[in-house]
């Protein structure tokens, strides 16, 4: 398929596998595969061109920064994995909190970590499981309900949250952070990656401190254009207090 080949060339095999998983998900919901693929191969490129032109107009990012933004947003794993390896040994157990369709969870497993994905969207988790199957990846995925994580106390060496905290409602954040604290080992880590100007980083730092985490570092990972804003992707690193 032309679309898959284009994705492999621009974003890599793992993102192409996610494309196939999403196609499969829609086919199982009565979309004819042939018609769906034909639609994408006819309309995705021209509509994407106009969307990209609009992104340049609105963001005023350079071509270099826009490329870095898209590489990061669609394939963040190389950047994130490099940072995680500075803190975690091979085979560390990682919670991917807000895993969505499972790309990061699977990528972490394929790079030697034990990764477990959790999300509130059943549809996203169904796609994540299809992705794991296509990548022959032993990632496991769980549904979070009622602001509870389905894991025992002190189960993970680290928790990672990518592009999720800006969606956590203010009144739900204390319970969310408390659950992360409950499930991470003492002296374990929490890594929160989100967009500057969209996520409330100072609120997140304060809430993490109130619920048993110590702030360590704030690191810029990439320029990004998302949520109608040109800004930066930031990683906050915390350790769980004893």
The helix or strand, by DSSP H or E, that contains position 236, with its residue range, turns out to be: strand 229-240
For residues 28 and 91, what is the distance between their CA atoms, to the nearest angstrom? Answer: 34
Distance CA 34, CA 60 (A): 38
Which residue intervals of 97-185 are DSSP H helices? 103-110, 122-134, 173-183
Chain centre to alpha carbon of residue 206: 23
- How much is the pLDDT for 217? 96
pTM of the model: 0.95
Q: Is the distance from CB of 148 to CB of 115 less than 8 angstroms? A: no
> Domain 72-240, what architecture?
3-Layer(aba) Sandwich (3.40)
Instruction: Give me 107's structure tokens.
Output: 């990528």
Residues of the chain with CATH 3.40.50.150: 72-240
pLDDT at 80 (0 to 100): 93
Question: Tens-digit pLDDT profile for the chain (242 aa)?
Answer: 678 888 989 999 999 999 999 999 999 999 999 999 999 999 998 999 999 999 999 999 999 999 999 999 999 999 999 989 999 998 999 999 999 999 999 999 999 999 999 999 999 999 999 999 999 999 999 999 988 999 999 999 999 999 999 999 989 999 999 999 999 999 999 999 999 999 999 999 999 999 999 999 999 999 999 999 999 999 999 999 87
């Amino acid at each position: 398929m032309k679309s898959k080949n284009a994705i492999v060339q621009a974003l890599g095999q793992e993102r192409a596998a996610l494309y196939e998983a999403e196609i499969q998900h829609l086919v199982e919901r009565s979309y004819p595969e042939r018609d769906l693929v034909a639609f994408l191969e006819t309309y995705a490129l021209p509509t994407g061109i106009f969307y990209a032109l609009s992104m340049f107009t609105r963001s005023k990012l350079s071509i270099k920064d826009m490329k870095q933004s898209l590489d990061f947003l669609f394939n963040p794993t190389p950047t994130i994995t490099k940072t995680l390896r500075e803190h975690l040994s091979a085979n560390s157990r990682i919670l991917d909190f807000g895993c969505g369709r499972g790309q990061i969870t699977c990528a972490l497993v394929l790079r030697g970590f034990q990764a477990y994905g959790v999300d509130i969207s059943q549809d996203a988790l169904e796609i994540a499981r299809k992705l794991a199957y296509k990548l022959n990846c032993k990632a496991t995925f769980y549904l979070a309900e009622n602001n509870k994580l389905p894991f025992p106390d002190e189960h993970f060496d680290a928790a990672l949250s990518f592009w999720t905290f800006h969606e956590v409602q203010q009144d739900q954040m204390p319970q969310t952070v408390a659950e992360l604290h409950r499930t991470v080992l003492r002296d374990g880590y929490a890594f929160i990656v989100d967009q500057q100007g969209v996520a409330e980083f100072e609120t997140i730092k304060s809430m993490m401190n109130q619920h048993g985490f110590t702030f360590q570092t704030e690191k810029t990972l990439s320029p990004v254009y998302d949520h109608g804003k040109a800004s930066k992707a930031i990683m906050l690193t915390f350790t769980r207090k004893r």
